[in-house]
Amino acid sequence: MTIRVGTRGSKLAMAQTGHAAEQIERVSGEAVKLVPITTTGDTSSAPVTELGVGVFVNQLRQALRDDEIDVAVHSFKDLPTAQPDDLVIPAVPARQDPRDCLIASEGRTLDDLPPGSRIGTGSPRRMSQLRALDRGWEIVPIRGNIDSRSARVGNDLDAVVLAAAGLRRVGRESDITQSIDPLTMLPAPAQGALALECRKADKTNSAILYKLNDRYAHFAATAERAVLARLEAGCTAPVAALADTSEADTDPEAVDLYLRALVAAEDGSRIDRNSVTATVSSPEEAFALGTRLADELLDGGVADLLA
How many residues does the structure list for the chain?
Answer: 307
Q: Count of alpha carbons within 13 Å of 300, Cβ hemisphere only?
A: 19
Q: Where exactly are the structural domains of the chain?
A: 1-95+193-213, 100-179, 215-307
pLDDT in tens, 243-287: 999 999 888 889 999 999 999 999 999 999 999 999 999 999 999
Fold of 215-307: Double Stranded RNA Binding Domain (3.30.160)
Q: What is the pTM of this model?
A: 0.92
Domain 1-95+193-213 shares a fold with domain 215-307: no
pLDDT of residue 138 exceeding 50? yes
pLDDT of residue 51 exceeding 50? no
Q: How far apart are the C-alpha atoms of 61 and 152, rounded to whole Å? A: 33
Q: In the CATH hierarchy, which top-level class contains the domain 1-95+193-213?
A: alpha beta
pLDDT in tens, 114-135: 999 999 998 999 999 999 999 9
Cα Rg, the chain, nearest whole Å: 19
- CB-CB contact of 279 with 254 (8 Å): yes
pLDDT at 206: 97
Contacts of 284 (CB under 8 A, 6+ apart): none
User: Phi then psi for 5, rounded to 5 degrees?
Assistant: -110, 115
Long-range interactions of 169-172: CB distance < 8 A, separation 24+:
169/12, 169/15, 169/16, 169/19, 169/96, 170/11, 170/12, 170/15, 170/146, 172/146
Active-site positions? 78
- State the architecture of 100-179 in CATH terms: 3-Layer(aba) Sandwich (3.40)
